[in-house]
């Protein structure tokens, strides 16, 4: 088909469409550059206010989805007379799948189509967009640019029916100069967006495949000569970093500042560029452009040089300057060329004939035409050299070419001026910096270079993100032609002493991988969404983000500059589903695509101080194309660190640091200890946060704090990528792969964030906050109450931090106070003596005493309010309280107990009844709620031994080796419950019986045996003692060893003395404190998107469940145990696949008391990863 809707080309050669041609990554896009926002005045630039030269095209667009690009309407909708009034209207930006068109698809590794690069499925959903827009009158005589900030996966663009261009790379702007195609007043833009293109093979990231115009679309207007790009670099001039050099390189843009586009084929000598309609080729040979009809065609060679602003129009005449220096023009209606024009200020194309066989034959307002010896017409069409059909020409078979010139040109009379402003908008330089274009010999004629020193600058860091504003002015004849502005952070990144340094200080990365994700809007994220993430990240002690695995919206980097986060900016390349993964990196046809993605990312983002690493992408293997990318990035920017995990050998060609993923703690220690290896190590991904996970993370931070060359890591990942969906009963839940009819999917592997899709933190998020906290309190001597406060901040003192302390006895506050930490500088510490914690006191028998140190903000910051808790540390004080006289005192009085034996055994009196159903093997307890009550109410129901839990995502990971598969293979099931005869003891004040419970494996060779002693007391107490024996031949770990029972649902008010306040397990409890907490059964439920074991609490001393009148049950333990309270049975949780599958039991709550409960693991989620000391 016609790739731009302009008619078919000749039958040979047959060219693939743009979206299946890896050599064609774009057509007619502007050269890469920083984001441009032209301002009318310096004042408006400083305020970053509204500018009349930028117009948003966000909003309502006409839209229709077709099943393939070949659909008839999809090849006509861009024509001026086409009516799309019956089409739907949708919002832009958006992903069309989130609006009900097509379906979301989630994959982790595999492609959602057959892996056959560069071919994509014939059924290629194609979204056609169209809308009108107005060009303001004040934009007359300005160049107008159309920018799609992102389009997934590729798009073609038309303006007023004219083909404009093509773009791939769904995460960087597709920007076009549309000046030749617009008129003052009403215009229309049409965009055809393809779900799949050959570029999709480079975008196999672990996230949802969603399509459409999902970032903003805008127009901006520039003068004909304008600031097209600029680079700002800051370096310190001395070792003490007291002065900084700010250097600026600015590139000029004119009407012809663009490159030759649309390379189709290449050999050793020539690059051939195909016309948009196919058939013709351009062969670029040195400085010449040659046109031919076919391989046997006759060549005509011209040299076209840009001369300032291109063709100039004066009235109805268009003028070009010939190689003789004359101007060639034609008045409308005239048949002869007019070479007599004399306009000294006119700028145009210099057209030099390379032989005398052909020359200009005709001209009108838009074109000068040249006839080749083959009889074709070559036209200079304002910006472009074209061969096109024209009713005024003799040859109607000519075809259109667009070949833009990229020639140097003079910039006479143009001056670049710059001023740096501080946060109060006061100028930093004593006078404006100024440079004429072309005035510095080592720079091109279209560049200007400025440099100055800032004395004693406010330095930028993630902790103290001090920003300046740079304002650039392009001046000609004392008239301001163009104004641009950007944030400037004065900081320096370097490798020194085998470590990454920022501003001369070794870096510690407390990082997270972050996808752009919203549960209702897909990949569309607003400024408010971004700020929410940044605040949460900083509040949980993160200082860095890896933009996994693609460049983010430009606004994200501006906000990270402002709030302070270090960024790894990652190229939009992942080929995880290729076999081998590095296949495309070794394919020369894809090299340009690799380099375009890297180069355009660097060009767009190079001025952001928050970016301290460039990344070559993710999980794409390595090969020559990665080497080319690395070389290009280093050439474009030598001020940052290069990062790439994809080379298993970590060749310095590809990466400046070691950056493995999911290495265990011992592996990262071994990596930095290798002979000859001097680079630091930063984990690009670690502690896989899939569901109830993040066990063992404290071990990573113990190692990071111990070994200087372990410089941190990035958690995988920040947010659960669940999409909101509605169940048939109207219940909303978060969906994952396979929930939208996407038959090729990777299920719930997108659900691995530290926060839920609505940004509610997981309990694992609190663990990271604690383990990577930038302040630590350690005990030097508890007997003497000496504590060390250690400040791990790189640049910040603790002047804005207070230490709040309290001493508690069994959860009750005895003393409290507050200490100032003023004067503790960055990377320093101080020993505090707290005599209040050593004073003598009356010690309560059996009591536990804990001192809690809480470090809080003393005043508001941009990211958190006064009182925000940075970290806590609790210490068990060694006061030596006497032991209680009796752990369980005998009842002093009460109604004697009776025993009834039989099929149902009862031990009872007037206030308590203990019932054992010998046949049903159930145990229950009921009691009167008070001494005045005569009505008994159930307290405990279905009490039994328990060894199972609903598998977590980590339990399920690992295929045949997973813990869940081990449990399934062993197949432990209850074989028998034997109850021994009941009896009364101690003068009928106590009654008891013994239960033997045996669980046996499927093969009968493995067993777990419990012997449980029940003692019922006449005052409504039940004492349970249990011992367990596990067969030596046991081939599987055991999830838990404990008991479970049900209580009435009205007992939903929970109080407990244990680790809290949030959910915790044996290998994830560093972030907890031991205290008395109050909650409800409903609030203790953690609604993991894939339902699993949840809500546990470690080190329980006691727990009570009561109704609103205070009636209920209390469980006390002689040792610290694990417990959880749930609205759901284990079977319910295990059977559910989504939260909407769970219905709380109408009458009961379920309590587990475990003598042992295995840890969670979390080093990864695809192998059994719970550490041995946390297994049973």
942 Cβ contact list (under 8 Å, min separation 6)? 922, 923, 924, 1044, 1045, 1046
CB atoms within 10 A of CB 239: 7
Q: Which residues contact 1115 (CB under 8 A, 6 or more apart)?
A: 1102, 1103, 1104, 1123, 1151, 1153
Catalytic pick from 203, 685, 767, 1093? 685
Spatial neighbors of 291 by CB under 8 A, at least 6 apart, are: 280, 282, 299, 300, 372, 376, 378, 387, 401
Q: Which of 376, 447, 570, 619 is catalytic?
A: 619
What is the distance between the alpha carbons of residues 695 and 689, in angstroms, rounded to a whole number? 9
Active site residue 70: no
Return the residue matching tokens 């308590």: 912
Q: Does residue 497 contact residue 242 with C-beta atoms inside 8 Å? A: no
Q: What is the CA radius of gyration of the chain?
A: 36
For 286, the token pair is: 């040195």
Residue 1099 token pair:
């080190």
Distances (CA, A) of 892 to 111, 270, 419, 1023: 73, 104, 88, 17
Task: Indicate the burial class of 966 (C-beta count within 10 angstroms; 0-12, 13-18, 19 or more).
Answer: middle
pLDDT along the chain (1176 residues), means of 10: 38 76 95 97 93 97 97 92 96 98 97 97 97 94 96 97 96 96 94 98 97 98 95 96 96 54 31 30 37 31 35 41 41 36 35 37 40 41 36 33 34 86 97 81 69 97 98 94 97 97 98 98 98 98 97 98 98 97 96 97 98 98 96 97 93 96 97 96 98 98 98 98 97 97 94 98 98 97 94 98 96 95 97 87 90 98 98 94 74 83 89 86 84 74 95 95 93 86 81 92 91 92 93 89 96 98 98 98 98 98 96 94 98 97 96 97 96 96
Find where tokens 């604690």 sit. 770
Bridge pairing between strands 327-330 and 317-322: antiparallel
Say if CB 108 and CB 749 are below 8 A apart.
yes
177-210: string of b/e by CB count within 10 Å (b at 16+)?
bbbbbbeeeebbbbbbbbbbbbbbbbbbbbbbbb
Rounded Cα distance between 471 and 51, Å, is 14
Q: Quote the pLDDT of residue 298.
A: 31
Q: CA–CA separation, 1164 vs 1161, rounded Å?
A: 8
Q: How far apart are CA 1053 and CA 1083, in angstroms?
A: 10
Predicted local confidence at residue 394, as pLDDT: 36
The SS3 of residue 42 is helix
CA dihedral over 567, 572, 573, 576, signed as positive or negative:
positive
Give the end-to-end CA distance of the chain in Å, rounded to a whole number.
65
- What does the alpha-carbon distance between residue 345 and residue 476 come to, in Å, rounded to a whole number? 14
562 in active site: no
In the prediction, which pLDDT does 922 show? 84
Task: Give me the pLDDT at residue 72, please.
Answer: 86
Which ranges in 719-829 belong to alpha helices (H)?
Answer: 763-771
Interatomic CA distance for residues 541 and 864, integer angstroms: 11
Angle, in degrees to the nearest 10, between helices 591-605 and 554-563: 40
Contact partners, residue 999, CB within 8 Å, separation at least 6: 945, 947, 972, 973, 974, 975, 1007, 1008, 1009
CA 717/CA 614 separation, integer angstroms: 19
pLDDT of residue 13: 53
Token pair 């310095």 is found at 652
């Amino acid at each position: 088909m016609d790739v731009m809707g302009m008619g078919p080309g000749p039958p040979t050669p047959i060219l693939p469409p743009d979206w299946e041609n890896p050599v064609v990554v774009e057509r007619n896009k502007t050269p890469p550059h920083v984001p441009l926002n032209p301002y009318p005045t310096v004042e408006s630039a400083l305020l970053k206010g509204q500018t009349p030269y930028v117009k948003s095209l966000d909003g309502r667009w006409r839209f229709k989805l077709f099943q393939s690009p070949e659909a008839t309407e999809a090849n006509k909708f861009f024509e001026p007379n086409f009516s799309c009034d019956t089409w739907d209207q949708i919002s832009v930006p958006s992903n069309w799948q989130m609006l009900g068109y097509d379906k979301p698809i989630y994959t982790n590794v595999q492609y959602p189509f057959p892996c056959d690069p560069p071919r994509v499925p014939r059924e290629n959903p194609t979204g056609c967009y169209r809308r009108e827009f107005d060009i303001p009158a004040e934009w007359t005589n300005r160049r107008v640019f159309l920018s799609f900030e992102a389009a997934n996966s590729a798009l073609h663009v038309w303006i007023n029916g004219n083909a404009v261009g093509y773009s791939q790379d769904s995460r960087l702007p597709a920007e076009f100069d549309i000046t030749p195609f617009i008129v003052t007043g009403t215009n229309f833009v049409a965009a055809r967006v393809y779900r799949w293109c050959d570029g999709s093979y480079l975008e196999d990231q672990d996230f949802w495949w969603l399509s459409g115009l999902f970032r903003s679309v805008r127009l901006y207007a520039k003068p004909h000569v304008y600031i097209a790009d600029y680079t700002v670099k800051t370096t310190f001039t001395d070792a003490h970093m007291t002065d900084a050099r700010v250097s600026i390189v600015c590139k000029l843009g004119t009407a012809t500042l663009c490159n030759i586009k649309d390379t189709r084929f290449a050999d050793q000598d020539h690059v051939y560029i195909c016309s948009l309609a196919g058939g013709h080729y351009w062969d670029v040979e040195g400085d010449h452009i040659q046109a031919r009809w076919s391989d046997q065609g006759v060549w005509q060679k011209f040299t076209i040089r840009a001369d300032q602003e291109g063709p100039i129009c004066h009235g109805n005449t268009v003028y070009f300057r010939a190689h003789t220096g004359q101007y060639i023009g034609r008045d409308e209606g005239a048949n002869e060329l007019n070479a007599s024009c004399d306009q000294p200020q006119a700028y145009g194309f210099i057209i030099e004939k390379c032989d005398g066989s052909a020359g200009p034959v005709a001209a009108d307002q838009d074109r000068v035409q040249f006839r080749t010896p083959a009889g074709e017409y070559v036209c200079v069409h304002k910006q472009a050299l074209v061969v096109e059909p024209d009713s005024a020409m003799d040859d109607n078979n000519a075809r259109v070419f667009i070949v833009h010139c990229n020639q140097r040109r003079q910039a006479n009379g143009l001056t670049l001026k710059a001023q740096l402003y501080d946060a109060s908008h006061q100028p930093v330089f004593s006078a404006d910096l100024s440079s004429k274009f072309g005035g510095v010999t080592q720079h091109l004629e279209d560049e200007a270079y400025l440099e100055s020193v800032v004395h004693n600058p406010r330095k930028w860091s993630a902790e103290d993100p001090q920003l300046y504003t740079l304002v650039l002015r392009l001046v000609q004849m004392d008239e301001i032609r163009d104004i641009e502005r950007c944030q400037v952070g004065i900081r320096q990144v370097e490798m020194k002493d085998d470590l990454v340094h920022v501003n001369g200080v070794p870096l510690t990365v407390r990082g997270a991988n972050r996808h752009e994700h919203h549960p209702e809007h897909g990949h569309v994220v607003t400024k408010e969404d971004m700020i929410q993430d940044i605040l949460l990240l900083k509040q949980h002690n993160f200082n860095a983000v890896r933009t996994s695995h693609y460049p983010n919206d430009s606004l994200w980097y501006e906000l990270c500059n402002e709030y302070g986060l270090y960024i790894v900016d990652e190229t939009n390349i992942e080929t995880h589903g290729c076999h081998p993964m590095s296949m495309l990196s070794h394919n020369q046809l894809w090299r340009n695509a690799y380099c375009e993605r890297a180069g355009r990312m660097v060009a767009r983002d190079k001025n952001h101080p928050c970016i301290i690493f460039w990344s070559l992408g993710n999980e794409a293997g390595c090969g020559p194309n990665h080497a080319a990318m690395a070389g290009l990035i280093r050439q474009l920017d030598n001020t940052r660190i290069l990062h790439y995990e994809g080379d298993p050998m970590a060749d310095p060609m590809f990466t400046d640091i070691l950056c493995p993923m999911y290495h265990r703690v011992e592996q990262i220690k071994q990596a930095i200890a290798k002979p000859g290896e001097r680079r630091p190590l930063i984990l690009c991904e670690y502690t896989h946060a899939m569901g109830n996970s993040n066990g063992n993370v404290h071990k990573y931070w113990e190692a990071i704090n111990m070994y200087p060359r372990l410089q941190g890591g990035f958690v995988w990942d920040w947010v659960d990528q669940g999409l909101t969906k509605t169940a048939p009963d109207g219940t909303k839940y978060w969906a994952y792969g396979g929930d939208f009819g996407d038959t090729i999917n990777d299920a719930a592997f997108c659900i691995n964030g530290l926060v839920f899709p609505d940004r509610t933190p997981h309990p694992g998020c609190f663990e990271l906050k604690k383990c990577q906290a930038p302040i630590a309190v350690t005990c030097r001597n508890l007997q003497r109450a000496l504590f060390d406060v250690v400040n791990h901040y790189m640049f910040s003192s603790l002047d804005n931090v207070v230490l709040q302390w309290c001493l508690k006895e069994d959860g009750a506050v005895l003393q409290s106070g507050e200490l100032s930490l003023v004067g503790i500088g960055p990377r320093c510490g101080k020993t505090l003596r707290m005599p209040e914690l050593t004073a003598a006191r009356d010690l309560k028998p059996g009591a536990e005493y804990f001192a809690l140190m809480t470090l809080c903000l003393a005043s508001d910051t941009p990211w958190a309010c006064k009182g925000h808790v940075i970290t806590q540390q609790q210490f068990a004080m060694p006061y030596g309280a006497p032991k209680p006289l009796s752990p369980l005192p005998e009842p002093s009085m009460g109604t004697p107990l009776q025993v009834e034996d039989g099929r149902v055994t009862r031990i009872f009196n007037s206030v308590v009844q203990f019932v054992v159903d010998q046949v049903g093997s159930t145990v229950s307890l009921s009691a009167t709620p008070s001494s005045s009550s005569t009505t008994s109410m159930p307290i405990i129901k279905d009490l039994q031994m328990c060894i199972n839990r609903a598998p977590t995502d980590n339990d399920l990971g690992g295929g045949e080796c997973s813990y869940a598969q081990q449990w399934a293979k062993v197949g432990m099931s209850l074989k028998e419950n034997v109850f021994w005869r009941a009896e009364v003891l101690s003068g009928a004040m106590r009654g008891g019986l013994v239960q033997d419970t045996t669980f046996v494996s499927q093969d009968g060779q493995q067993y777990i045996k419990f012997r449980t002693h029940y003692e019922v007391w006449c005052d409504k107490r039940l004492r349970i003692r249990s011992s367990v024996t596990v067969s030596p031949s046991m081939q599987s770990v055991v999830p838990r060893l404990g008991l479970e029972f049900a209580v009435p649902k009205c007992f939903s008010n929970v109080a407990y003395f244990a680790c809290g306040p949030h959910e915790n397990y044996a290998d994830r409890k560093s972030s907890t404190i031991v205290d008395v907490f109050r909650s409800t059964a409903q609030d203790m439920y953690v609604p993991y998107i894939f339902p699993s074991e949840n809500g546990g609490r470690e080190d329980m001393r006691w727990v009570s469940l009561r109704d609103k009148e205070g009636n209920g049950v209390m469980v006390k333990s002689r040792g610290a145990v694990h417990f959880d309270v749930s609205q759901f049975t284990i079977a319910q949780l295990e059977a559910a696949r989504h939260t909407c599958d769970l219905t709380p039991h109408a009458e009961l709550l379920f309590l587990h008391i475990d003598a042992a409960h295995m840890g969670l693991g979390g080093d990864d989620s695809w192998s059994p990863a719970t550490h041995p000391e946390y297994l049973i």
